[in-house]
Amino acid sequence: MLKTGPAAVSSREFFERSRARLGFEVPPGLVDPNIIPRSGDHGTDRMLEIVAREQPVRPAAVLIPVVDHPQPTVLLTQRAAHLNDHAGQISFPGGKIDATDATPLDAALREAEEEIGLSRDFVDPIGYLDLYGTGFGFRILPTVARVRPGFTLQINKAEVEDAFEVPLAFLMDPANHQVHSKEFRGMERSYYAMPFAERYIWGATAGILRVLYERICLT
């Protein structure tokens, strides 16, 4: 069983719920600055409104690779320390959507291959999660995917320092969802953090994982 605190869902049920609740319709807010992704936090929503007026929208796509072990895991990356954006942070495989990408899904699969060598032969895409906005102007569309075990990774050190797996049960347990806050132009905004061993999962990655919990694990 995939135990998630008060609610419990088996790994089979997790994938079944994901298929039933997610699809591949691309939200217009991915490219429309007049549509603000709502986080449910007033401070964060206000920040996103300000950012949308000041910066161009930066469409991005990430892959949420759920590895179908008997106890499923989520495959995450640690970004290289020399990068200009989010250096050293824990992330999903992914990045900006290029003009050559037919869909956000194609962008996520391409980035996963380029960053960590995850072959799409092992990836079974399930559907898009909710659009997620960041304070840097990114509009991130995550793709939830079932990943078949047995893959071999090849880390691109120019972009990624490391790749590792975290138990899905840990990430989907609300007891592990810490809420921190900081100030943005005189407004308090909150964000999630999910520390795991020596890894500090926070910001957009933790926020997207919280959305995954709310969409899939809550009844």
pLDDT at 82 (0 to 100): 62
pLDDT at 181 (0 to 100): 83
Strand pairing category for 138-147 and 178-184:
unpaired
Instruction: Give me the residue spans of the domains in the chain.
Output: 2-217
pLDDT at 156 (0 to 100): 93
Any idea what the Cα angle at residue 72 is, between residues 30 and 177, rounded to 5°?
Answer: 60
pLDDT at 86 (0 to 100): 55
Q: Token digits for 210?
A: 């919280």
CATH of domain 2-217: 3.90.79.10
Supply the pTM of this predicted model. 0.92
pLDDT by position in tens, the chain (length 219): 565 555 556 788 999 999 999 999 999 999 998 998 887 777 778 888 888 888 888 999 999 999 999 999 999 999 876 665 555 689 999 999 999 999 999 999 999 999 999 999 999 999 999 999 988 889 999 999 999 999 999 999 988 999 999 999 999 999 999 998 877 667 777 889 999 999 999 989 999 999 999 999 987
pLDDT at 42 (0 to 100): 74
pLDDT at 209 (0 to 100): 97
Any idea what the Cα angle at residue 46 is, between residues 43 and 50, rounded to 5°?
Answer: 135
